[in-house]
Amino acid sequence: MSPNPRSQSELTSFGYGFLGVLIFSLTLPATRIAVTGFDPVFVGLGRAIVAAGLSLILLVITRQTIPPLRFLPNFAIVTAGVVVGFPLLSAIAMKDAAASHGAVITGLLPLSTALCGAWRAGERPLRGFWLFASLGSALVLIFALVTGGGSLRMADLALLGAVGSAALGYAEGAVLSRTFGSWQVICWALILSVPVLLPIVWQHLPANFSLISVNAVLAFLYVSVFSMFLGFFAWYRGLALGGIARIGQLQLIQPFMTIASSAILLGERLSIETIGFAIAVIGCVLLGKRTQIAAKS
């Protein structure tokens, strides 16, 4: 009996998506380590310069054709969201917040990605989907207030901004990937960012690299090569093949993976509050996803 082509396609898309989530789940802990030795702006934007260099090499070797000028605004959205917005804002947040704390806030990414996918890809979720999206957002804000002593800290605002930026960049990149291919999209978005980012990164170069710990250097290389470059090869491929909202729900497991890796790599203590809110937010995302599937059937 021959295998079902649809099942194979679903397995492939989920495989690519899971690989992307696995790579991204280490981003916050690695960023937390990197900012112990580097300026947060250098970590947030410098990783794009490193990844852009790799992108240029790959694009030249494979002789890729420059995308038509009419797609420039679309690539600019990807650049603003995942090349500039999320890396910079998350690096600023990781200077003061624990990576496990950030994992709960970024638990909003699955719903946010689905919402941006609905906007950019023309999906029409039912009212219940919006209800659970709002509930999940409220839980995240309550968590930030509870752990912040009754007020939102700057790190919380930065993380919320990072979530919105990433979600928009994910959705727009997935749409572009259907035309240009997954790795080509992130490569061209990175190249587009260089003229703006290079002067800023240059101003925030460390005065003395020899004083920076090996761990900080390795963490910076991870977010540059994996989080900013290779991870998107798999992630955009999965989103393009399996659908933005559907594959985006694989981010459900990302908070748990980030929390676990934060405990292992950083020795962060896992509080009952953090774990409890992470589970509650993920529950909202699951319920919201079920509502959306019902809308499509």
Predicted TM-score (pTM) of this structure:
0.83
- Summarised one tens digit per residue, pLDDT across range 242-283 is 877 778 778 777 888 888 898 888 988 877 887 888 888 778
- Band (5; pLDDT cuts 50, 70, 90): low
Alpha-carbon torsion, ordered 235, 237, 241, 242, to 10 deg: -10
Nearest CA to 257 out of 11, 16, 20 is that of: 20
Structural domain count, the chain? 1
End-to-end CA distance of the chain: 28
Angle at 262 between CA 260 and CA 263, to 5 degrees: 65
Do the beta carbons of residue 202 and residue 41 sit within 8 Å?
A: no
Residue 203 CA, distance from chain mean position: 26
Average pLDDT estimate for 136-141: 76
Give the separation between CA 263 and CA 26, rounded to whole angstroms.
Answer: 11
Give the separation between CA 104 and CA 97, rounded to whole angstroms.
Answer: 12
> Looking at residue 107, what is its pLDDT?
76
Contacts of residue 110, defined as CB under 8 A and 6 or more positions apart, other chains included, come to 248, 249, 250, 251, 252, 285, 289
> Looking at residue 149, what is its pLDDT?
64
- Band (20; pLDDT cuts 50, 70, 90): very high
Q: Quick check: 294 pLDDT over 60? A: no
**103: containing domain:** 5-296
- CB-based burial, 262-297: b 16+ in 10 Å, e otherwise: beebbebeeeeebeebbebbbebbebbbebbeeeee
- Band (97; pLDDT cuts 50, 70, 90): confident
Give the separation between CA 199 and CA 76, rounded to whole angstroms.
Answer: 18
**Residue in the block written with tokens 């529950």:** 283
For the chain, how long is the longest CA-to-CA vector?
64
- 288: helix, coil or strand? helix
